[in-house]
Amino acid sequence: MSLKRAILGLAALACFSVPASAGSFGFYGSYWDSDQADSSWGGGARMGFSFVKFLELEFHGTEYPRFKSEVGLQNIDVKALPVDGGLRFNFLPTAPFNPYVGAGASYYFLDSNQGSIDNQTGWYGEAGLDIGGKNARFFAEVMWRKMDTTISLSSFDTDAKFDGVVGNAGVTWRWK
């Protein structure tokens, strides 16, 4: 039921974003170094809609195929797919070098090779820089992700924190 609500919420936000006259779309590689699990490489896509010159409504989804987490004496592989939605403030949106900051909410789709793991909500904060011409741009950003979940094995449950630093780098295309 919560998956259905998350997808409907993102679809509603996308529908409200249609009137935006400017936007962006991109792809990126990612690295997430979490507190209580091992790190993981991944990749994702992002889309943004600018309503005013400096403010952008952005959405991104990233797949991290392999975290290793130790629960008791067992190693568990965890797959994470965070879907993010938030606001981004562009300091110099028309300049060749545009620093930005942003924050938003995340929904984490989680899966493990043993036992079960709960999907969770969380939040993120980001700071980055995009560089390039009017339409094609390169970007690099650092994010902080906050997410706690429960991993259930046959005999016990344990809480796990996946808080940590994320680095993203990729390309984005803008339109007006």
Reading the chain (176 residues) residue by residue, the pLDDT tens digits are 566 666 666 666 665 555 556 889 999 999 999 887 788 999 999 999 998 889 999 999 999 998 877 766 778 888 999 999 999 999 999 899 999 999 999 999 999 888 888 899 999 999 999 999 989 999 999 999 999 888 787 777 778 788 999 999 999 999 88
Largest CA distance in the chain: 57
What is the DSSP annotation of 18-78? TT-SEEEEEEEEEEEEESSB--EEEEEEEEEEESSSSEEEEEEEEEEEEEEEEETTEEEEE
- What are the residue ranges spanned by the domains of the chain? 2-175
Cα distance between residue 176 and residue 39, in whole Å: 37
Q: Going by CATH, does the domain composed of 2-175 fall within 2.40.160.20?
A: yes
Q: What are phi and psi of 38, to 5 degrees?
A: -65, 175
What is residue 33's predicted lDDT score, i.e. its pLDDT? 93
Name the token pair of 58: 């952005």
- Whole-prediction pTM: 0.83
